[in-house]
Structure 1
Amino acid sequence: MASIPDTAQTAYDRAAGVRALALPAIPEELRALEADDLLEAAERTLEAIDAHDLCIADENFTELEATGARFTNCFLSCCDFSGALFTDTVFESCDFANTYFDGAGFTRCTFKNCKLTGASFMEASMESVSLEDCTLAYGAFNRCRWWAFEARRCDFSGADMAEMDLHYIILDDDRFIGTSFFRTPLLGIDFSTCQLEGVALSDTMAEIYGTKMNLYQAAALARHLGVIIAE
């Protein structure tokens, strides 16, 4: 008798390849950036800057470009960075709550201990980006592209992550409670160390094909399919 191949496992193995993240290249010498400098910047281009303890809200920074930059302990809530480009940039202990990054590009960037609650990253692109101990609850990531992306101990609860393009994703101890993955293929992603509860999927649940989960996560999703789990 011929055996039936485990097609889901095969698909997962093919898609779960790891791409090493390229870390931000930060120049040794950085120029201190004051709030007035950022607000009055004519060319909207920042190079080799150190932004520390800035406190700015409700300002327009659309299409701003930053490279070789460091933002530390900055409050930039409710600002608009739509179309901005960040390359080789570090964000640490910053507050970007309810800020717009729609259509923005992030390449070789790191976020550590940042507040991004309610932030919008619709159609943004993130390549070689890592997040650690960040809050992204209720964020909008619709049609966002992640390529070589890591998130560790981050909270994506209530986030809208519909129709995303995900490749080479590493997740560890993250929270996805009430998160929407509508029409986002999760092939090759390992959720087994994460909290995955009450997520929104399409009626066919095709999004989770080739996804790795622990026993409890799989059982919870099976109940949505009408499967009765023996105790």
Structure 2
Amino acid sequence: MATLPDTVQTAFDRAAAQRALVLPTIPEELRALEADELLDGATEPLEAIDARDLIIADGNFSELEASHARFTNCFLSCCDFSGALFTDTVFEECDFANTYFDSAGFTRCTFKNCKLTGASFMEANLEQVAFTDCTLAYSAQNRCRWWGMEATRCDFSGADMTEMELHYVLLDDDRFIGTSFFRTPLLGIDFTTCQLEGVALSDTMAEIYGTKMNVYQAAALARRLGVIVAE
């Protein structure tokens, strides 16, 4: 059986070393957040708030700051959270379709069963963040930084994940169909449990150096290089 060159295996092992995910710290007592407080413009950071069943479209919440917060069953589609800062925040059953999080910061946050179809995270910074059962299809992640990230059973089909910076990323049963990884180094990323089809890479495919794939994923990429793979 052929083995990876020692230099590649060593590079993968070093890059794939994981950091334990730090979950958000949420106080037992939270203050209910009303929609009017957001719509009127929150001039002060939102601390220890519980936002439930909010329905707001096309709202401008740029540079909003929230910490030790929970957002549950909120519809915040087509809103603008550019430059916002979220720390120790939980998002559950929320709809952020086509919402802007450009240049936003997320630290110790979790997203569960959230719709983020077409959402934009361009140049955003996500550190110690977990996505579970979320839809991020056709999202824009250009030049986004992921550090200590986990994604489980998420859909990134058609997402633009170009020129990203990835460190300590753990993927499990995610979908990457037609996803663009152009100029995004994938060193240390394990795709073996994921669906990986028709991804966009540069002509040299340098992005996949030191990436772990199953035999079917690797064979599909090999065919794109003109390699004849025996069945």
Q: Same fold (TM over 0.5)?
A: yes
Work out whether residues 41 and 61 of structure 2, in 8 Å CA contact, stay in contact via their aligned partners in 1.
Answer: no
User: CA–CA distance in 2 between the matches of 1:13 and 1:42?
Assistant: 45
- Relative to structure 1, the CA distance from residue 188 to residue 93 in structure 2 (aligned partners, 3 Å threshold; closer, same or farther) is same
User: CA–CA distance in 2 between the matches of 1:206 and 1:7?
Assistant: 15
Work out whether residues 187 and 208 of structure 2, in 8 Å CA contact, stay in contact via their aligned partners in 1.
Answer: yes
Structure 1 position 118 matched with structure 2 position 118: yes
3-state SS of 2:146 partner:
strand
TM-score by length of 2: 0.97
Letter in 2 for 1:226: G
Structure 2 unaligned blocks of 5 or more: none
Letter in 1 for 2:20: A
TM-score by length of 1: 0.97
Work out whether residues 140 and 159 of structure 1, in 8 Å CA contact, stay in contact via their aligned partners in 2.
Answer: yes
User: CA–CA distance in 2 between the matches of 1:111 and 1:158?
Assistant: 20
3-state SS of 1:87 partner:
strand
Query: Alpha-carbon deviation of 1:229?
Result: 0.5
Work out whether residues 42 and 64 of structure 2, in 8 Å CA contact, stay in contact via their aligned partners in 1.
Answer: no
Q: How big is each residue's C-alpha offset from its partner over 1:6-53, in whole Å with a ceiling of 9 and x where there is no partner?
A: 322111011110100111001111000111111113415211000000
Letter in 1 for 2:131: L
Q: Which residue pairs with 2:23 in the alignment?
A: 23
3-state SS of 1:127 partner:
strand
Letter in 2 for 1:102: D
Q: How big is each residue's C-alpha offset from its partner over 1:55-100, in whole Å with a ceiling of 9 and x where there is no partner?
A: 0000100000000000000000000000000000000000000000
Q: Which residue pairs with 2:169 in the alignment?
A: 169
User: CA–CA distance in 2 between the matches of 1:222 and 1:27?
Assistant: 51
Letter in 2 for 1:174: D
Work out whether residues 152 and 172 of structure 2, in 8 Å CA contact, stay in contact via their aligned partners in 1.
Answer: yes
Structure 1 position 144 matched with structure 2 position 140: no
User: CA–CA distance in 1 between the matches of 2:57 and 2:28?
Assistant: 29
3-state SS of 1:8 partner:
helix
Letter in 1 for 2:172: D
3-state SS of 1:32 partner:
strand
Q: Which residue pairs with 1:129 in the alignment?
A: 129
Work out whether residues 99 and 119 of structure 2, in 8 Å CA contact, stay in contact via their aligned partners in 1.
Answer: yes
- Relative to structure 1, the CA distance from residue 228 to residue 98 in structure 2 (aligned partners, 3 Å threshold; closer, same or farther) is same
- Relative to structure 1, the CA distance from residue 219 to residue 5 in structure 2 (aligned partners, 3 Å threshold; closer, same or farther) is closer
Work out whether residues 77 and 95 of structure 1, in 8 Å CA contact, stay in contact via their aligned partners in 2.
Answer: yes
Q: Which residue pairs with 1:102 in the alignment?
A: 102
**After superposition, where does 1:43-82 map in structure 2 within 5 Å?**
43-82=43-82
User: CA–CA distance in 2 between the matches of 1:147 and 1:22?
Assistant: 12
Letter in 2 for 1:214: N
Work out whether residues 44 and 63 of structure 1, in 8 Å CA contact, stay in contact via their aligned partners in 2.
Answer: no
41-50 or 211-220, larger mean C-alpha shift: 41-50
Structure 1 position 229 matched with structure 2 position 220: no
Q: Which runs of 4+ in 1 moved over 4 A?
A: none
User: CA–CA distance in 2 between the matches of 1:155 and 1:134?
Assistant: 7
Work out whether residues 131 and 150 of structure 1, in 8 Å CA contact, stay in contact via their aligned partners in 2.
Answer: yes
